[in-house]
């Protein structure tokens, strides 16, 4: 499977680093154009510049995913800069670990604002752009990034798990709505396993801090022991799954959850 992305134009949120940036690199390497959308302008501009250096098409667009007006500026900017829009990856997300007995309502609301409201607003504005009467008007594909945490019960991440379960349900409703209204937009979810990047590393540190595991290594070891494939996920693993769902190779794949977790959540 090569998933040729030539002619595709994709906006990725939270793409200044991590899985979002790795996915953007994969799209560009396969011939697609990307808009790096992020709240971190310094890192976002640097990421777009890096991707453009090799002859690829990449632009930076400032975006606060929790702000409807910010989305209202970002999507038209992507349309203009890329000459259209065929895909959206709702990747931006945050994780704050807490035990139930110490749960901070403000932190939980912040998680839901970014992970759930941010994803819902992305779907809203992508639908408006990609439906037949929209600025792009040719249909397309949306990929929402959830988590293996949406499919298992792991201590210390109640708010995050609930938010990612909500992302999975938003996906299915959006796919049904797009189909019923003839938008021509497929909507799917990717549930990554634990990736040893900045967010994954912080999660392991938090597990020790909360007293759930005696050490960071023990927390990581617990995740690996729950994973039949016997290792953590990589950003490459996740990026390839996202690109497949954006590509024409998945033209009849709609409303599904693709677990890229080494069977941890089965």
Beta bridge partners of residue 70, listed in sequence order: none
CB atoms under 10 Å from CB of 35, counted, come to 28
Q: Write phi, then psi, for 261 (nearest 5 degrees).
A: -135, 15
Distance CA 164, CA 63 (A): 21
Contact predicate 23/89, CB 8 Å: yes
Strand segments (E) across the chain:
9-13, 33-38, 57-62, 87-90, 140-145, 185-192, 257-260
Give one DSSP letter per residue of 86-127, joined into a string: -EEEE-------B-GGG--HHHHHHHHIIIIIHHHHHHHHHH
CA distance 190 to 74: 23
Report whether 94 contacts 18 (CB < 8 A).
Answer: no
**Is 160 a catalytic site residue?**
yes
Inter-residue contact 254 to 38 (CB < 8 Å): no
- According to DSSP, the β-strands at 9-13 and 33-38 are parallel
A 10 A CB-CB count for 58 gives 25
CA angle, residues 242, 118, 76, in degrees to nearest 5: 80
Q: Which residue in 71, 127, 154, 160 is the catalytic one?
A: 160
Residues catalogued as catalytic: 160
């Amino acid at each position: 499977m090569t998933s040729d992305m030539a002619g595709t134009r994709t906006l990725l949120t939270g793409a200044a680093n991590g899985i979002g940036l790795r996915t953007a690199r994969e799209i560009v390497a396969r011939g697609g154009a990307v808009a790096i959308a992020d709240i971190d302008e310094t890192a976002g501009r640097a990421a777009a510049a890096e991707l453009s250096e090799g002859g690829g098409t990449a632009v930076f667009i400032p975006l606060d995913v929790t702000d409807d007006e910010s989305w209202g500026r970002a999507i038209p900017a992507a349309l203009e800069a890329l000459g259209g829009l065929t895909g959206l990856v709702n990747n931006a997300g945050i994780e704050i670990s807490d035990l139930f007995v110490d749960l901070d309502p403000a932190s939980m609301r912040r998680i839901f604002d970014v992970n759930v409201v941010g994803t819902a607003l992305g779907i809203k504005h992508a639908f408006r752009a990609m439906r037949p009467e929209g600025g792009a008007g040719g249909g397309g594909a949306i990929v929402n990034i959830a988590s293996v945490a949406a499919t298992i019960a792991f201590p210390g991440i109640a708010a995050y798990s609930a938010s990612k379960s909500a992302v999975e349900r938003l996906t299915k409703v959006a796919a049904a709505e797009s189909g019923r209204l003839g938008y021509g937009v497929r909507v799917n979810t990717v549930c990554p396993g634990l990736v040893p990047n900045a967010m994954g590393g912080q999660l392991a540190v938090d597990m020790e801090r909360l007293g759930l595991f005696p050490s960071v290594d023990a927390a990581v070891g617990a995740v690996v022991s729950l994973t039949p494939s016997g290792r953590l996920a990589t950003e490459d693993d996740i990026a390839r799954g996202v690109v497949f769902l954006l590509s024409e190779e998945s033209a009849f794949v709609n409303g599904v959850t693709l677990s890229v977790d080494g069977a941890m959540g089965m």
